[in-house]
Amino acid sequence: MNSVSPSAAQYIGGVMQDDLVDTRRQQPMEQQSSFGLRSPQSPDPSREPTGEPDEMDKLKAKLMSAWNNIKYGWTVKSKTSFNKISPVTVLGHSYLLNSEDEVERFRLAFVSRIWLTYRREFPQLEGTTWTTDCGWGCMLRSGQMLLAQGLLVHLMPRDWAWPDAQQLTDVDFEVFRPRSPTRAAGLPIPSFGSPRGSNTPERSNPSDQLPQRKRPECARDRQAEPIHHRLVTWFGDQPPAPFGVHQLVEIGKSSGKKAGDWYGPSVVAHILRKAIAKASVVHNLVVYVAQDCTVYKEDVVRLCDLSLSETAPRPSSQAWKSVIILVPVRLGGEALNPSYIECVKNILKLECCIGIIGGKPRHSLFFIGFQDEHLLYLDPHYCQSVVDVTQANFSLESFHCSSPKKMPFTRMDPSCTIGFYAKNIKDFESLCSAVSVALSSSKEKYPIFTFVEGHSQDYGLEGHSSNHSGPAAHILPLSKQDRSNNRRNSDEFVFL
């Protein structure tokens, strides 16, 4: 096989650019999605279904897998710049990067998020020849990261940080002091307590040279490491893993999806709901998926309040199940409506927010924060070798990212799913109040979504309860220009 040079896979800021534009133009429109080319493994309608891929399908799948492994296996080191005068928000916590202590706090917060990316050489997905999700599984990976964040909050100590984050020393970002609020340019300071060289442009502060203080939570966090390891195994790329790609693809079949298809944020929200309901490894946790951009409070209560359940709670169970609330929304027509940017920022400032799955056209991303007019995200578009999580003391390093990345809000695809977590009924009531305030910050007449008293059936939505198998799409009011493209965009709740 001919070798492929790095120039065949161009990255800008660590994000892959579509290098198959010419090929994509040659495909019929019905075979395209915003994520790129439809997989050659898609069945030919004229061919009789046989239940097993034929030899041509196997060959095509192998060629596509080999190409995607190369395409998404390249990385180009690049540093993301953060300024020192504006706070960085990460899932409800704020960091002003004007001191080494604050930089270290931000580093720990970012590196401690679980990072789930494309993997290769995992066991074949049932009924297919796929041994990788490269090129098509990015939204599933983003959904995994959203669920993993919810499980971290559910199972780990408050404000937990990965105690072994120090071993990821190759962390790529710089901190700048802008010359003006509108132009983020200036001189970088060394990150994460790295030694200052003789050519360092800034004068060292005495506090910068003090020995690094050990976090008081370090011992507590170390005690929680077995839970951290066990949580990562649930996302392993083996068929038994309850939240691994094998299980998610299997669950997705009920929504008309299969391996090799691209999954949208709304579909993934329902897949995650079903995965939690099916799993036996997580107790006292449910997932509620909002319908028609509305969270029906009584539906959430009915899911969570065990006294209203048909089955009696176990003696060791709490009276209230914790809940992950997923809200599929659309923030504009062809592009993000700028009026919603401030609202998205305010949502990411909430501690109850566990992130947003969405991305930009052709790329699913997991958004976890922002600084100024840029979103902070984790990118699944990096192909790594599969890790055997059944082995004792397997390495966690490939499940944590050391390179924060940013992108402008204006490049955000309007189709996304927002996630929240409430541990108990008090947290749920606080969540409803805090999120409602955040939603009211929008300049638009219509909020991104709403909380409503009562049950969905009270509003004639019996078929759209959170236990319904299919996603319901709701598109916010469109401008006149957007209405002309309404029919063409109707599927964008499924495909970015």
Enzyme catalytic residues: 138, 379, 381
Residue type at 466 in one-letter notation: S
End-to-end, the C-alpha distance of the chain in Å comes to 33
Residue 299 to residues 269, 323, 452, 462: CA-CA distances in angstroms? 17, 12, 10, 11
Question: 241 near 233, Cβ under 8 Å?
Answer: yes
Alpha-carbon distance values, 153 to 156, 238, 308 (Å):
6, 24, 25
Amino acid identity of 261?
Answer: D
Question: Would you state the structure tokens that stand for residue 363, as one six-digit string?
Answer: 């790329």
Angle at 415 between CA 354 and CA 241, to 5 degrees: 50
Residue 214 has phi, psi (to 5 degrees) of: -80, 135
The CA distances from residue 135 to 20, 306, 455, in Å, are: 12, 42, 40
DSSP run (H or E) holding 144: helix 138-155
Sign of CA dihedral 189, 92, 217, 280: negative
279, 248 in Cβ contact below 8 A? no
Q: Give the amino acid at 253.
A: K
